[in-house]
């Protein structure tokens, strides 16, 4: 009888050990997937932020006229010799809505688009949040309703940018997210 108890006990203990290893394997697999998707999202956000910083620091470069044509919470159009070739370029950043962007399974993402000289979008970045804030020379926030006039847009001296990206696919009931926030003070406005 004691032999049967030993056999049954060893099966129970062996089964528990197998379950522990299976659970550990699943946990490691989920963590690896989260790290992979987080790295992909961070890499995409880093590329996008490098481009945004480069463009926004050059607002008004080699431009003696109006530097900013549109300034809103999720859209900006400005002029700059972005290529440093002596020709003034028009750059337009704007967002779409989540219903028009169906490339990913994430229902919250939409495209942040960068157009250069009204051509086919030069860059499109999937984001879940994008907001611009504008400040005057004293660091006071400028209300969006005032920015419809050129005289108010001429008061813009600093821009605040906040952006959030999420992974295209859900991992373990959530999307991997990365946020970025920056204050930019272009030299030429």
- What pLDDT does residue 1 have? 66
Residue 94 lies in a domain: yes
Residue 33 lies in a domain: yes
Give the tokens for residue 165: 């990206």
Domain residues for 145? 3-184
- What pLDDT does residue 88 have? 96
From first to last of its 189 residues, the chain has per-residue pLDDT tens of 678 888 888 889 999 999 999 999 988 988 888 888 888 888 888 988 999 999 999 999 999 999 999 999 999 999 999 999 999 999 999 998 766 677 788 888 989 999 999 887 767 888 999 999 999 999 999 999 999 999 999 999 999 999 999 998 888 888 989 999 999 999 999
Cα(23)–Cα(137) distance, rounded to whole angstroms?
58
Please state the domain count of the chain. 1
The residue with tokens 């030299």 is 187
Residue 189: how many CB atoms within 10 A of its CB? 20
Answer positive or negative: Cα dihedral of 150, 153, 157, 161: negative
Residue 141 lies in a domain: yes
Residue 139 buriedness (CB in 10 A; 0-12 / 13-18 / 19+): exposed
Residue 189 lies in a domain: no
């Amino acid at each position: 009888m004691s032999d049967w108890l030993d056999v049954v006990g060893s099966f129970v203990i062996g089964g528990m050990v197998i379950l522990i290893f299976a659970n550990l394997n699943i946990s490691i697999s989920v963590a690896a997937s989260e790290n992979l998707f987080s790295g992909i999202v961070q890499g995409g956000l880093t590329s996008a932020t490098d481009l945004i910083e480069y463009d926004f620091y050059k607002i008004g470069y080699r431009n003696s006229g109006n530097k900013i044509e549109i300034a809103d919470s999720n859209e900006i159009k400005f002029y700059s010799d972005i290529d440093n070739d002596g020709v003034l370029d028009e750059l337009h950043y704007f967002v779409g809505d989540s219903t028009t962007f169906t490339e990913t399974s994430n229902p919250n993402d939409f495209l942040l688009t960068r157009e250069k000289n009204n051509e086919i979008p030069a860059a499109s970045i999937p984001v879940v949040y994008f907001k611009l804030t504008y400040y005057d020379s004293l660091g006071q926030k400028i209300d969006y309703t005032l920015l419809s006039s050129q005289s108010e847009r001429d008061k813009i001296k600093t821009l605040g940018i906040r952006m959030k990206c999420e992974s295209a696919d859900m991992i373990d009931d959530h999307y991997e997210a990365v946020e970025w926030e920056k204050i930019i003070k272009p030299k030429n406005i």
